[in-house]
Structure 1
Amino acid sequence: MTPSAADLRAIAADTLDVRALIKRSYAPIQPLPVYSAPGPSARINLVTDSINSGSLFGGVATAIILSVLLAKRTGAKLRVVTRTEAPDASGFAHVLECNGIKYVDDVEFVQVGVSDERAQLDVCEGDRFLTTSWWTTACVLGSIPPSRIDYLLQEDERMFYPHGDDWLRCQEVLMREDIRFIINTEMLLRHFTSTGLEHMASHAMWFEPAFPNQILRAPNPGNEQRLKFFFYARPNNLRNLFYRGIEVLDEVVAEGILDPKSWDVYFVGKDVPKLRLGGVLEPIVLPTMEWRDYSAFIASIDLGLCLMATPHPSYPPLDLAVTGALVVTNQFGVKRDLQNYSSRIICVQPDAKSLKEGLRAMIVRAEAEQKTGRPSGKHHHLSTSWETSLAAIVEQLR
């Protein structure tokens, strides 16, 4: 039977052009909408999803700091371009204040929303772009010459996905040899060069993070009535191994390795269900905190469990160790040992038995230090100045 005109119109209404489907499915990596306009002779554009309070920890804060230090060193203007949320200027200023960085020049904040078809960004010959993910890099590459793009890479972003189209597009960005990569930690760069990205040996530079004293102050050692245990709890971030963590903690409490009479247990993260460990202990669940509150809280912790299926140290274990807290984390790939960062961190295999034995050893150690006090002196081998930590990077980028 030959279809009627009405049937053909109905079929056409349900049919998508391939390019339209790709655009809809991959809206964040469509070319950044730009137009040419007169502008400053030099301007740094930090492109990120959001700088609002819930996004400021770890990687985004590092991106803000690098963009400011680069602008200061080169005398360039600074513009922050957000893609998913309207920018919160107070959050930007708060990161600088907490990290002891002074910046007196004006900062321009603009949103070029992924879903806003009317949004456009004015660009000029003096514009350079600092991107913060493979998708912000991909969208900027659609509009800006690669020679003007630097990509701050702080995770193996391929690990966000199962092998498929998203993984492939991420891999294609990481494989590029016409942009510069700035890698957070030598360990992560070593992972990249050993997992198919050999070109990064000559196309990437690396730095180690800094932990300014005004962020994380060590608490008074010893003599607290109760000890505090920290678990980095993010059930919807699969690389944080939430379920392995609660599985081990349940056993540790049930077997009396961690005594609820002596310890308060805190789960810090998002979307954490109410739980009972070992049938007797209900953790205190804390949501994501404002930067200063987080810093003060971290400084009160005695022992932390931070699980990260990632080939780099990540920030939470280092945050804790800088204050003198003890930390148990897991090995992964090139991440075998973190003693070069701090002797307060042990790194064990992520099987339940190894994690339990690691916790047992550190619980004994924490309880002993409660009586004797923590060892005096610096507990880590990290810089306390971002200016120092990023000096070589800024010089290479300027």
Structure 2
Amino acid sequence: MPASVAYAPAAFAEAAEGASRLRLAAGTHPPRLTVCLPHAHKDHVFGGVSSVLELARFLAPRYPRLRFVSLSPLPEAGSRLDLSPFAKGREAAPPELADLHGDTPLAVDAGDIFLCSFWRSVLVWEAFAGLLGRQGRPANPFYYFIQDWEPGFYPLGLDHLLAEASYGHGQSCLAVVNSLELARFLAQKRYGFGRTVAVRPSLNPHLAQALSALGRKLPPRPTDRLTILAYGRPGHPRNCFPAVLDGLWRWLAAFRPALPGPVTLLSAGTPHENIVFPDGSELTSLGMLSLPDYAATLLQSHVGIAFMASPHPSYPPLEMAAFGLEVVTNAFAGKDLSKAHPAIRNAPPHRPAETAAALREAVTAALAGAGQLRPAVLPASLCPDGWQTNFRRAAIPILRPSA
């Protein structure tokens, strides 16, 4: 007889169970914007979390009340998100922070409007819509800030289907899509959003400030040595880390011997063990850098390599190009960043020899211009304005509770 194992719920079932821990409060209350986040850890506000907080900052003044709900347990008080930027003018009703992991179900009001930031957070809106339905009320519409094609994060299977199902709420869903490239892809897939607003992403405010402090003039890079910066996230298959390593090794073996100066190989993204190549070269992992350290690393690097098996352009290749690096990345359905900036070139991740050839072109171009003071040029895929101006110009409709 085979051994028995205990039943364990699928990951989505655990998320759905958390979402079901809502209760509808009695009475009538002013509309509240409820922002669903993957976590509430202030030290991990990068990329998508940073962007959704910017959208929340844009929408918040339109609602009398504001609450952030973390789908992960809240960290210790000193590590939680700083809500002070959202508190101005809200002395009577300061912003709240909650999660779905307490002993008491989370109270929601019939006038709540949800801002969902990733597919699992749509499960929370679904649970809320179910509560309203059981009271004979229509579902309130919700904002869905779509920052990648999340079904592509998973192999064909249950999670893929569930992530894709989050795009199926029709007129209830106002999709705010973070990049024109991703918006084109979603349009080709013919998802049934009630309305779609596409925005080009803005440069992270801290990085934009770093460029402004330089007068948008990039300082010369060293001409007697070379630094290559890789976007290294081994735990995220869409970033093709093995292809980054294969391309670097092919370049080292074929083209490194012709360079007279030292070569430094750096990896930023998530921590991993340093990688030693057969010739003794070493890729040093910097892990998850603070934004000031990331800006400093960009300004000291010559070449960047960042793959993304997704229609979303991903921030690193765009940030690298904005800071003057010569960049190797990849095209995808609806995405060709080589058209967005002259320093970006494509290479197919699954062909390491072509990646090495693209790195050779990037290194040649980088060293040729290394000693020069150059202007910072934003890729066309980025919006030159800050997020708040960006969202205002996009004319995002303001959602109200259903009658």
Aligned counterparts of 2:225 and 2:12: Cα–Cα separation in 1: 51
In structure 1, the partner of 2:177 is: 183
In structure 2, the partner of 1:214 is: 209
User: Do the aligned partners of 1:313 and 1:338 also contact (CA within 8 Å) in 2?
Assistant: no
The 5-angstrom pairing of residues 166-181 of structure 1 reads 166-177=159-170, 178-181=172-175
Aligned counterparts of 1:108 and 1:356: Cα–Cα separation in 2: 50
In structure 2, the partner of 1:69 is: 58
1:112: Cα distance to partner? 1.7
User: Closer, same or farther in 2 for the Cα pair 1:236/1:395, shift >3 Å?
Assistant: closer
Aligned counterparts of 1:133 and 1:184: Cα–Cα separation in 2: 12
User: Do the aligned partners of 1:45 and 1:81 also contact (CA within 8 Å) in 2?
Assistant: yes
User: Closer, same or farther in 2 for the Cα pair 1:138/1:75, shift >3 Å?
Assistant: closer
3-state DSSP class of the match of 1:397?
coil
1:186: Cα distance to partner? 1.5
In structure 2, the partner of 1:141 is: 126
User: Does residue 43 in structure 1 map to residue 32 in structure 2?
Assistant: yes
In structure 1, the partner of 2:195 is: 203
Aligned counterparts of 1:92 and 1:42: Cα–Cα separation in 2: 23
In structure 2, the partner of 1:7 is: none
User: Does residue 385 in structure 1 map to residue 386 in structure 2?
Assistant: yes
User: Closer, same or farther in 2 for the Cα pair 1:232/1:75, shift >3 Å?
Assistant: same
User: Do the aligned partners of 1:33 and 1:143 also contact (CA within 8 Å) in 2?
Assistant: no
CA offsets per residue over residues 197-231 of structure 1, 9 Å max, x none?
A: 3434x532211111142155564123465332110
1:320: Cα distance to partner? 1.4
User: Closer, same or farther in 2 for the Cα pair 1:378/1:170, shift >3 Å?
Assistant: closer
The 5-angstrom pairing of residues 116-265 of structure 1 reads 116=102, 118-144=103-129, 146-177=139-170, 178-195=172-189, 197-200=190-193, 203-211=195-203, 212=205, 213-216=208-211, 219-223=218-222, 225-257=224-256, 259=259, 261-265=261-265
User: Does residue 112 in structure 1 map to residue 103 in structure 2?
Assistant: no
1:304: Cα distance to partner? 0.5
1:306: Cα distance to partner? 0.2
In structure 2, the partner of 1:358 is: 358
3-state DSSP class of the match of 2:317?
helix
1:95: Cα distance to partner? 11
Aligned counterparts of 1:337 and 1:308: Cα–Cα separation in 2: 11
Aligned counterparts of 1:225 and 1:120: Cα–Cα separation in 2: 62
Q: Which of 13, 16, 20 matches 1:29?
A: 16
User: Does residue 78 in structure 1 map to residue 78 in structure 2?
Assistant: no
1:323: Cα distance to partner? 1.7
1:108: Cα distance to partner? 1.4
CA offsets per residue over residues 260-288 of structure 1, 9 Å max, x none?
A: 83332111132423222352211221111
3-state DSSP class of the match of 1:380?
coil
Normalising to structure 1: TM-score of the pair?
Answer: 0.83
User: Do the aligned partners of 2:221 and 2:302 also contact (CA within 8 Å) in 1?
Assistant: no
Aligned counterparts of 2:40 and 2:395: Cα–Cα separation in 1: 22
User: Do the aligned partners of 1:79 and 1:107 also contact (CA within 8 Å) in 2?
Assistant: yes
In structure 1, the partner of 2:397 is: 396
| 149-158 vs 38-47, which moves further | 38-47
Aligned counterparts of 1:394 and 1:93: Cα–Cα separation in 2: 27
User: Closer, same or farther in 2 for the Cα pair 1:26/1:338, shift >3 Å?
Assistant: farther
Aligned counterparts of 1:157 and 1:95: Cα–Cα separation in 2: 31
Structure 2 letter corresponding to 1:245: V
Aligned counterparts of 1:391 and 1:282: Cα–Cα separation in 2: 46
In structure 1, the partner of 2:286 is: 286
Aligned counterparts of 1:33 and 1:393: Cα–Cα separation in 2: 35
Aligned counterparts of 1:225 and 1:262: Cα–Cα separation in 2: 8
1:249: Cα distance to partner? 0.2
Aligned counterparts of 1:304 and 1:252: Cα–Cα separation in 2: 13
1:388: Cα distance to partner? 1.7
Normalising to structure 2: TM-score of the pair?
Answer: 0.82
User: Do the aligned partners of 1:253 and 1:260 also contact (CA within 8 Å) in 2?
Assistant: no
The 5-angstrom pairing of residues 250-329 of structure 1 reads 250-257=249-256, 259=259, 261-329=261-329
Structure 1 letter corresponding to 2:13: Y
User: Do the aligned partners of 2:228 and 2:302 also contact (CA within 8 Å) in 1?
Assistant: yes
The 5-angstrom pairing of residues 85-96 of structure 1 reads 85-86=73-74, 92-93=81-82
User: Closer, same or farther in 2 for the Cα pair 1:158/1:75, shift >3 Å?
Assistant: closer
Aligned counterparts of 1:226 and 1:377: Cα–Cα separation in 2: 22
User: Do the aligned partners of 1:89 and 1:109 also contact (CA within 8 Å) in 2?
Assistant: no
Structure 1 letter corresponding to 2:140: S
Aligned counterparts of 1:54 and 1:339: Cα–Cα separation in 2: 34
